[in-house]
Structure 1
């Protein structure tokens, strides 16, 4: 067997690890379905590992080393890939988000992380961690703001966010913080960097009224859906499930205010916060 150099964690290790997995699998003459069956995972999941959109967990790595005769390569390098600055329940979703070609998200209660300002993010983290040190909060805020770096590209990824009216009415961090946060969201919409809609209270029930959803599509891998709760999150790759959730999102967008009316509402609420914050 040819000996490969272990991966450098600083050089997009998950994509490199996925590429090595594909080469090792093909050398053994195995399909994605055959490699995933003993682990009770689908062939599409193996494909996502190979494309670098999913994280390789240690138990999978050990199985691959055994079946593909790779001498512990995947187990060793899996440990490097597992390191993340994000909470465990969100790390895999954040990594997938960074390489997605399109992101569609519905936020029922809060402004989505990719659209948050520093002040808004800081208030959110502090509310959930009242005894955390300032340094710990700083690290969390830094990691959240770094996620938004993907928006520096003028066109990719496509970002489409539907905000429930509750997320722009809920005062997080004070009225000045909310004014800044909403003006930031509106500016992204006005610059055509994001599609932003608001689901008004008047719409009543809608397909995603029970929770949030993030849908991600990729250039060379199947789409993923991510649902999040309190200190928990789940990435979904089952094609039928993702299709149903995509339909729900499309219906949601059809029921929400138009992008033009949504930006007008967001800017109006931001103006109200600005005036109310003045003595």
Structure 2
């Protein structure tokens, strides 16, 4: 089966091919200089494979690109690291008046600190390069910054106690993450509640979701799964998710009690 070109790398690959031909180098010569196989370089020139930094540096030197190829490589990495949700969600999220968030096993993305997010991304992309991981973390940070800035949507989050107690990375990272949640709970733009971890069953155990509410249009939702997320616009399904959200809020501790619970957990896990 033919491999599908990756849009972020097509331009980079085309530039490598242009420079190679301009310098009068064969694919074999360029591949040897980059310390990759000929078949790999062919795929990279077609844009179907990402390029590691060290390979890009060797190509930049071998093709006498004087740093221009590395600039192109950096743009490709940034673009490739921005997953579909990053492009699809941004416009809707910016227009939302409220965002309701829940995840059964993780701290919701908009409330994650970089170190926590990095641990989650590394676990989800075990074969990707450190640069790709950092690109995703940066995209998350920029999204978080836009949506938590003054004038952004009001954020309502129910965070499962299980997610708060699960140590991601190490105890220091987790203590910092819980401290961030406590600080966020004190913001006028965030209402945060913790769902007791001993709740035996509830209808949102199968995955996280976000409901986006607007002042000028019907609500929409994003339901998360292993391969990304699915946009939900069907009114009946939105009502079902809103009912689930209402149950989660009712079962969760109050905002004030939730802060006390998080402070206790932070003290327990602090190194």
Secondary structure in structure 2 of the residue aligned to 1:208: coil
The aligned residue for residue 144 of structure 2 is 148
Q: Offset at 1:153? A: 3.3
Query: Aligned Cα RMSD in Å?
Result: 1.9
Given the alignment of the two structures, is residue 87 of structure 1 paired with residue 89 of structure 2, yes or no? no
Mapped to 1, the partners of 2:81 and 2:213 lie a distance apart of 23
C-alpha distance after superposition, 1:158-189 (max 9, x if no partner): 10000111110111111100011110011011
2:203 is matched with which residue: 180, 203, 207? 207
TM-score (norm. length: structure 2): 0.66
The aligned residue for residue 52 of structure 2 is none
The aligned residue for residue 118 of structure 1 is 114
Q: Offset at 1:246? A: 0.6
Mapped to 1, the partners of 2:122 and 2:206 lie a distance apart of 26
1:223 is matched with which residue: 200, 219, 226? 219
1:109 is matched with which residue: 105, 109, 125? 105
The aligned residue for residue 269 of structure 2 is 273
Q: Aligned in 2, Cα 1:85/1:96: closer, same or farther, shift over 3 Å? A: farther
Q: Which has the larger Rg?
A: 2
1:227-246 matches, within 5 Å, as: 227-246=223-242
C-alpha distance after superposition, 1:126-149 (max 9, x if no partner): 122233222211111100011111
TM-score (norm. length: structure 1): 0.64
The aligned residue for residue 250 of structure 1 is 246
The aligned residue for residue 186 of structure 2 is 190
Q: Answer yes or no: is the 8 Å Cα contact 2:209–2:223 preserved in 1.
A: yes
1:41-60 matches, within 5 Å, as: none
In structure 1, runs of 5+ residues without a counterpart are 1-82
In structure 2, runs of 5+ residues without a counterpart are 1-78
Secondary structure in structure 2 of the residue aligned to 1:202: coil
Number of positions where the alignment pairs a residue of Structure 1 with one of Structure 2:
193
1:176 is matched with which residue: 172, 178, 183? 172
Question: Structure 1 segments of 4 or more deviating over 4 A?
Answer: none
